Amino acid sequence: MRMVYQTTISLLFILSCTSIPRQKNSSVSTSDTKQAIIFDLNLLIKENQMGFAKKIGYGTLANYTLTHWKHPGYRCLDMLAAMSKHESQKPHVTLPLQSRIMPRCIVELQEGKKNCADTKKEVLDCAEILDNQKFFGSAKEKNLMLSIMNVVLDPDAVASIIEPIKQMTQLIQKLKNAGHKVYFSASTPQELYEKSHNKFPDFMQLFDGVSISAQAKAVKTDELFYTHLLNTHNLDPQQCILVDDIEESAAVAKKLGMQTVVCDKACHVTKQLKKYGIRV
C-alpha cells in the first residue's frame, strides 16, 4: 500500500514523496487475448499525510525540518541503510528503497519470517548502536526517527491512514468489465495485509487474486516472488502485464517473460497501458 510501507504500504510510500523514473517500454502487445493485469498495491492506495503527521505530531515534524533542514522520511531511510551495514543486519537479499539498502530485519519482515513487533525491537536495538556511533545529529532526531518507525511498524496505525485511490478503483472496474483478470501484488507483512483486507473488503473483492511477499516468502526483487504469483494463480507470464512503481521489481518480472509498466503516479497508468493495446 508505497500496503506506506514497502514494508507497510511501504516505507517508500510513507517515508518519501519523490517521483520514481519511469521505465520505457519498447514492445507492445497486439494479441486479442485478454491479458492479466497485475498492479503493485503502492499504486492502488494512498496515504492520508495529515493522518500520518498527526500520529507523529505536527509540531515535532515542523520543528525538526526547521532546525535540521532535512526531510525526516529520507533521514529515516538513511538510518535503515546504516543499519544494513551492521553485521547483525546485513541483508541476505538486496532490497533497495530510494537507493538505500534495507537491513535484514526489514527484508525478513517482508518475507514473512518476522512480525512487526519483532522487527520494531530489532530496529530499536540497532538504533542504540547507531546512537553510540554518533549517527544521529541530536536526541531530537533519534526520537523522531524511532517515532516514525513505531508508526510504520504498527499495522493498526498504518491501516488507519490509508485508503484506496478512487481513480484506480474505477480503472480496475473498467478492466474487469473489458474482460481482463486483475491481480495485485505487494511487499507487505501478513499483519498489515489482514488489517487492510478487513478495512476495505469491497476494494479487495475487486481482484481475481492477491500475492504478497509474506505469503510468497520472498521480496519483490527476488524471482521467487513472481514465480509464486504465476504458479499460485496459474498465469502465463506471456499474457501478464505488471504495473509497478519500482524498476528493480519490474526488471525481475520481465526476466520471467512478463510485460511491464513502471509508473510513479496512478494518473499515468491508463496512458501507459495503452502502449500494450489495453483500452478501457
Q: What pLDDT shows up at residue 32?
A: 53
pTM of the shown model: 0.82
Q: What pLDDT shows up at residue 29?
A: 41
Q: What pLDDT shows up at residue 18?
A: 32
- The superfamily CATH assigns to domain 17-46+163-274 is HAD superfamily/HAD-like (3.40.50.1000)
Q: What pLDDT shows up at residue 125?
A: 96
Give CA separation, 2 vs 14, 16, 121, 196, 256, in Å: 7, 9, 23, 14, 24
Contact 199, 232 (CB under 8 A): no
Give CA separation, 125 vs 12, 31, 54, 98, 190, in Å: 22, 53, 26, 24, 23
Q: Which residues of the chain have pLDDT under 70?
A: 1-33, 69
pLDDT digit string (tens) for 4-35?
333 334 444 444 333 333 333 434 344 456 89
Q: What pLDDT shows up at residue 117?
A: 95
Q: What pLDDT shows up at residue 151?
A: 92
Measure the CA–CA gap between 100 and 15, rounded to whole angstroms: 12
pLDDT digit string (tens) for 117-146?
999 999 999 999 999 999 999 999 999 999
Counting every residue written for the chain, the total comes to: 280
Looking at the chain, which residues constitute the CATH 3.40.50.1000 domain(s)? 17-46+163-274
